[in-house]
Amino acid sequence: VSVGINSVPVVGLTATPQAICNGGSSLLESNATAGSGTITSINWSSALPQNLPAGQVSPSSTTNYTVTVTNSNNCSTTGAVTVNVGSIPVAAPTASATTICGGEPTTLAANATAGSGTITTYAWSSGLAGNLSGGSVSPASTTTDLVTVTNSDNCSGTGSGSIAVNAAPGVGLTA
């Protein structure tokens, strides 16, 4: 008696990138070889079209994806990959005084939440130097302050707030 042994397909499922921010997308690729015979089907666990070796996904939360590849000898192999999804930080900057006279100080605060992970950086448009969650500024004219907050999942969010600057009254003296 002769018994033939067919090779199973080999699947190297990848996600590029494997970590995304909410609203982002990742390319899933099955990178399959047939083993013995030829590939006859590629079946995804997600909403990707069947029998395609790759496709884009945009999960709203961390999701496990699988693909089952079958060859013409009816041998199958399943591959799996996880796409990690980070939440975008939220920033709602405020000023201790939203209307000031030119040259007066006011204190900015980012009022940020990390979303996922922890906040790693603050970047201000107002000239606040360094990685600060807030600080004192003295704008010379009305300004909109933007703060971009980045978290440890490498997701960023931006918020804005305004400071109205009134001109100081002019004084003229005559003798």
Q: State the pLDDT confidence band at 169, using cuts at 50, 70 and 90.
A: confident
Tokens of 107: 């204190």
Residues paired with 156 in a beta bridge:
150
Contact 104, 138 (CB under 8 A): yes
Residue 113, pLDDT > 90, answer: yes
Cα 172 to chain centroid, rounded: 56
* Nearest one of 132, 138, 79 to 105, comparing CA atoms: 138
Q: Where are the beta strands (DSSP E) in 34-142?
A: 39-44, 54-57, 63-71, 76-86, 90-91, 94-95, 99-101, 106-109, 112-113, 119-124, 134-137
Q: State the pLDDT confidence band at 35, using cuts at 50, 70 and 90.
A: confident
pLDDT of residue 74: 93
Residue 168, pLDDT > 80, answer: no
Q: State the pLDDT confidence band at 1, using cuts at 50, 70 and 90.
A: confident
Segment 24-46 mean pLDDT: 92
pLDDT of residue 47: 77
pLDDT of residue 171: 74
* Nearest one of 70, 13, 8 to 35, comparing CA atoms: 8
Sign of the CA dihedral with 98 first, then 101, 107, and 110 last: positive
Query: pTM of this prediction?
Result: 0.78
**Mean pLDDT (the chain, rounded):** 92
Q: Give the model confidence (pLDDT) of 44-89 as tens digits.
A: 998 788 899 999 999 999 999 999 999 999 999 999 999 999 999 9
